[in-house]
Structure 1
Amino acid sequence: MTGRDEETRAQEQAAREELARLREEHRDLDHAIDALEALGSGDRLQVQRLKKRKLSLKDRIGFLEDQLTPDIIA
């Protein structure tokens, strides 16, 4: 295996690890949002911030998934 192949594998592994971390954070935010809304605490600003962060994570997750999925030409 060449140095470039090893570098590519290392980058792919790093992307997979980041993807797993982001998915976990996304799930955690989902639970936190549900809990805040269930409490009806009235802190809509906090809920909006969490939703904005969740959307940002979703975008990053989509980007990483696209990077890790090989292009298939039909």
Structure 2
Amino acid sequence: MSLESHLAELQRKHGDLQRKIDDAMAHPSVDALEIAELKRRKLAIKDEMQKLQAERTRH
């Protein structure tokens, strides 16, 4: 997988997680721990995207 396609996939996953977070927060019955886990996963993806973008600018 090329760097560009990997970044695109991570961006897609990041957006998917944001939609899941938004949906979960719209339903008061959703567990706060579930929302926290989604946010952690989203942050991990964001960190990975930033590392890859930094790597891309170095080359």
When the two structures are superposed, what TM-score results if normalisation uses the length of structure 1?
A: 0.73
Aligned-residue sequence identity (percent) comes to 36
**Where does the alignment leave 5 or more consecutive residues of structure 1 unmatched?**
1-12
Q: Which has the higher contact order (CA 8 A, sep 6+)?
A: 2
Alignment pair present for 1:44 and 2:9: no
1:9-66: CA deviation from partner (whole Å, max 9, x where unpaired): xxxx611111000000000000000000011123111101000000000000000111
Q: Give the 4+ runs in structure 1 shifted more than 2 A.
A: none
Instruction: State how far apart, in whole Å, the 2-side matches of 1:55 and 1:40 are.
Output: 23
RMSD between superposed Cα atoms in Å: 1.5
Per the alignment, residue 58 of structure 1 pairs with 46
Count of equivalent residues: 59
What secondary structure sits across from 2:37 in the alignment? helix
**Where does the alignment leave 5 or more consecutive residues of structure 2 unmatched?**
none
Alignment pair present for 1:67 and 2:50: no
Per the alignment, residue 9 of structure 1 pairs with none
**Quick check: which has more Rg, 1 or 2?**
1
